[in-house]
Structure formats: C-alpha cells, structure tokens
Amino acid sequence: MPACNRVIFERVTALTERECREALQQARRLVVKVGTSTLTHKTGKLNLERMERLVRELVDQVNAGRQVVLVTSGAVGAGMGRLGLKEKPRTLPEKQAAAAVGQGLLMHMYEKFFSDYGLLVAQVLLTRDDLADRRRYLNSRHTLATLLHLGVVPVVNENDTVAVDEIRVGDNDTLSALVAGLVDADILILLTDTGGLFTANPCNHKDASLLHCVTEITPEIEALAGGAGSTWSTGGMATKLQAARLATSFGIPVVITSGLEGGRISAVLRGEEVGTIFIPREHRTHTRKRWLAYGPAAQGQVQVDGGAVRAICQGGKSLLPGGVVAVYGDFDQGAIISIIDPDGKEIARGMSNYAAAAIRRIQGRKTKEIVEILGYKDYDEIVHRDNMIVLV
C-alpha cells in the first residue's frame, strides 16, 4: 500500500480506537443489520444454520441485559429461492412479488428461532416516507421503544412489496442507520460477507489488509468500496460506508464485521479488535436533527463558499446570506434543503428560513442588507444552526 494511503488509514492512534472499543462494553441498546448474502446460500434459499446462529447470539445479548433491534435483508432473496428464480428479477413488479413471497418466509423462520429461545419478535416494516413525516417518525420511534421495553425484539425490514424507491440498492444499510438514530442506539453492527473494510477486495487481492479503524470517510476510503457483493444481495461495501457516515454523524459508533462466522457480535461488545470500527462524532445529535438528516427528501440545494463551509463544519455556525453563491431548485420557506460545498458535496442539511427566490436576491449580501433588498427580514440566517445537521 502506498505510503500516502497508509497515513490516511492509520491517522487515528491506537489509544483512540482502544478507548472507543472499550466503551462498546457498556452498550445497552444495539442495532444489528444482516445482509442477504449472510442469510442465504448461493442458491438464494435461506441458510437456516446461519439464521439460527445469529438468533442465538442476539438472544444471548438480550439475556445479558441488552436491548436488540434486528434490521434484516433477505426477503427478495428468499422469495427468489422459493420461486425457483435463477436470476435477480429485472422489473419492479417481479422484485416486489419476490419480496411478498419471501417476507412471510423470512419472518416465519425468525419467529420460530426466537421462540425456541423464549423471546417474542415483532415485524416492523418501514419506508422512507414513514421517516420523512415528522409525526410518523415519532410514532415509529415510540413504537420501537415500547417493544424494547416489553422485551420484544423488533425485526425491521423495508416494505419492499409496495415502496417503489425503497427497493433500490443499499436500502437496508441506510435503513439500519436511520433505525439506529430512531432508537438512540449505542452501536450499529453491520454484518456482511467480509471481515470488514479492506484496502482492496480480499476476493481478488490476497495481500489486502483489514482496516481496523476509520475516523473519517474520505474520498480515499470511499474508493475502496466496490459494487454489490453477490447475485442475491442489493447492497455492497459502498452502501455500508454510507450507513456508517450517517450513523456516526448521529454520534453512534459503527462496526462492519463478518456475519459468516459465529461470535462476532459478542466479540465486538467485549471490545475486541473485530472488523472495522468507525469512530462517531463527539456529541450525539438531537432526535430532531436526525430526522432532518435523512427523513424528508431535500427540496433544493444551496451552494456555499469555502468560508461558509468552515463556519458550518468547524465552527458550528448558522448559514448566513453572505456565504451563499448559488441556489438550485424552487422551494418555499420552511423547506428542507441540502447545503453543498464549492465541489458540490453535501456538507449539511437543514430547514430554510427563506424561499429559493428570496435567497437568490440576498445571496452574497450582508445580513443588514436583507430588509433593503427584500423589504422585510424574518431571520438573519438562511438556515439556523438549531435547524441544521452537519453531515461531514
């Protein structure tokens, strides 16, 4: 590995990683996401041995006093196996039909395995729309909290049979991060068919080495991720990095590790050096800011200059008119907008105090000039820091 990349990968000290891993021993609420490639054989049919082993590990954590939420993929894959399909369906109706068949089969097996160990499960089907509406977001939060309080294990999946957008690549990786924020999880564990994030694809490069710790998901880190991992899965390492970026922005640590080997969840929670750990932000974001991040879809974009980027990302400041260089889209006051840097990368998201047309008139100007330009001034800021979440 080139020396320059080694600096990027090893910029965190062993002490920082050790402290974070040791803190995982105190985790009391965990979200575990398991992928299709872990749950199924190469034929696409469910791998019952792995499912039973996963359930046994999760039950053991509940018996130890922890609360567990399971986010599971596998409905489409299980449906394909039951239907005898050799290739992934290409049309949306075919994918949704496979999900409809597979969802019942998947939940039946989870219910059987958990009940064998004396635990109840509850199926929770979510879509992005459920998280975009503030009232439905809070209702989902309260429902999951109540289930956990009652000692029930929520089994969360996307409502693939009806949600057009939710059946696309990486949905359950992103969903698991959203659920982790929804329930105030202490850790998100992503189980996959590799041991974590490697310096190269370990299937093709025997000299690839595991990255034990990532403190920042840089473009160099993103370049390590490939496409979908198998015939039956819809995600890949790239979607897991997206999930890690989201969860760590909420202040939640993330560990990517193998779901093909037993005992990994317990090892992570013992603080052992297992998989790749992603260090979270120092402070947890408020629930409302988590909703702002990836609940409602952004209705427009505001591009800012370098000074505004530093003020927002490093100084925790609000976005003022002077830092805006361009406005994209047509949105009203109160809309959720994406704040992008000079290169077009999203750095933050928040609620706009002004409509797009008004921002275009006052962009690049001083706050004291707003009244003169618009004839009124409702706010000094385009987006106040209390209504903004920083994503980098």
- Specify whether the CB–CB gap between 94 and 72 falls below 8 A: no
Strand partners, 351: 336
Binding-site residues from annotation for ATP: 33, 192-193, 234-240
Strand partners, 390: 348
Which among 222, 234, 195 is positioned nearest to 95, based on CA atoms? 234
Binding-site residues from annotation: 33, 73, 160, 172, 192-193, 234-240
Separation between Cα atoms, residue 169 and residue 152, nearest integer Å: 29
Which among 276, 274, 244 is positioned nearest to 262, based on CA atoms? 274
Give the largest Cα separation in the chain, rounded: 71
Strand partners, 328: 301
Q: How many CB atoms lie within 10 A of CB 333?
A: 14
Binding-site residues from annotation for substrate: 73, 160, 172
Please classify residue 43 by burial: count the beta carbons closer than 10 Å to its beta carbon, then call 0-12 exposed, 13-18 middle and 19+ buried.
Answer: middle
Separation between Cα atoms, residue 76 and residue 231, nearest integer Å: 11
Amino acid identity, residue 209? S
Residue with tokens 């995600």, as numbered in its chain: 235
Q: Spell out where 204-329 has E strands.
A: 213-214, 254-258, 276-278, 301-304, 324-328
Residue with tokens 């039909």, as numbered in its chain: 97
Question: How far are the Cα atoms of 46, 67, 99, 252 from residue 107, in angstroms, in the given order?
Answer: 12, 19, 12, 28
257 three-class SS: strand
